[in-house]
Amino acid sequence: MAIHTPSNDEIRLAVAEVFDRVRFCHADKLLNALVVVDKSMFHGNNIINYVVDYEMQELCDFVNSFKAYLKQTENHFQQARIRALLYCHIMEADLPLTVIWNFLRILEGGNCDWTFHRITKKGKTEVCQYPREKISELSRLSKKLDVQIGTVLDHLWQVDLRNAFSHSQYCWMGEMLTATGSLSPLSRKNCGKRNNPSFTFDDIERLYEGSRNLLYYFTEAYQITIDPFKDGNAHPVDSGLIVWDSQSGWLWKGNA
């Protein structure tokens, strides 16, 4: 199975493209896609929800904590395990995908929403809980809007690797990480279907590097874009005016 991972430049340019198009064409809506306003936790009250920020900080700390160990170990199997672990963690992170989704919604002429969803062909609203659902919707919107982030995510997302590794349904066949879901009888769903894709050390390394670049360029673009709003002045979002406080973070103007 040939895996065509996007290059470092392709990832960087795809992330920059969506940030720049919103910043230059819809600057008045930019902050709506960066600050999480939760409208559903408490009925009738809009709150600025910091849980996703804590999740992102933990993700970055987690990924960075393995850098030294990856350099220290010469065991290729252990390197591949760690890279697969970090790849899954990065690709399943909610905030980058949801911020990008909100950018695409703005470019499409819509409003931001912090519950990632899609509209079915029957007009029903369905929450996108899993990465494959989110990436599928991002791919659809990207093609419609002629931006490259959907293609980059499509090529980075390898659901077979994610499922095999995350569910402990793999083994090593030589130097190949091989999905065993259809080989083992323990959780086989379809007796007639055989699907046991394999991933080389090089495949896993390139997917890990691609996911790490995606995380890096997203966090860099996010910080560059949001920093000008942290000037102590009130800035509008759909739900009101917010102010950055260096001690408390984002506050509603009336609470600042």
pLDDT in tens, 91-114: 999 999 999 999 999 999 999 999
- 131 to each of 71, 77, 225, how far by Cα in Å? 29, 26, 25
* CA atoms within 13 A of residue 30's CA, in its CB half-sphere: 21
Instruction: Look at residue 43 and tell me whether its pLDDT is greater than 80.
Output: no
Q: Output 184 or 131, whichever has higher pLDDT.
A: 131
CA–CA dist 190, 215 (Å, integer) = 36
197-218, pLDDT tens digit by residue?
999 999 999 999 999 999 999 9
At 90 the pLDDT is 98
CA–CA dist 125, 240 (Å, integer) = 26
- 195 to each of 125, 173, 200, 252, how far by Cα in Å? 32, 15, 16, 52
At 45 the pLDDT is 83
Give the pLDDT mean for 156-162: 96
Q: Residue 121 — pLDDT band, cuts 50, 70, 90?
A: confident
Q: Mean pLDDT in the chain?
A: 92
Contact between 50 and 255 under an 8 Å Cβ cutoff? The reply is no
At 109 the pLDDT is 94
At 193 the pLDDT is 65
162, 166, 172, 176: CA torsion to nearest 10: 10
Instruction: Look at residue 56 and tell me whether its pLDDT is greater than 80.
Output: yes
223-234, pLDDT tens digit by residue?
999 999 999 999
Closest CA to 152 of 226, 231, 91, 197: 91
Give the pLDDT mean for 175-183: 87
| DSSP strands (E only) in the chain | 37-42, 45-48, 117-119, 125-127, 170-173, 176-179, 198-200, 234-237, 240-245, 249-252
Q: Residue 256 — pLDDT band, cuts 50, 70, 90?
A: low
At 185 the pLDDT is 72
Closest CA to 231 of 203, 202, 256: 256
pLDDT > 90: percent of the chain: 81
Q: Residue 188 — pLDDT band, cuts 50, 70, 90?
A: low
Give the pLDDT mean for 132-160: 97
Pairing of strands 117-119, 234-237: unpaired
Give the pLDDT mean for 109-131: 92
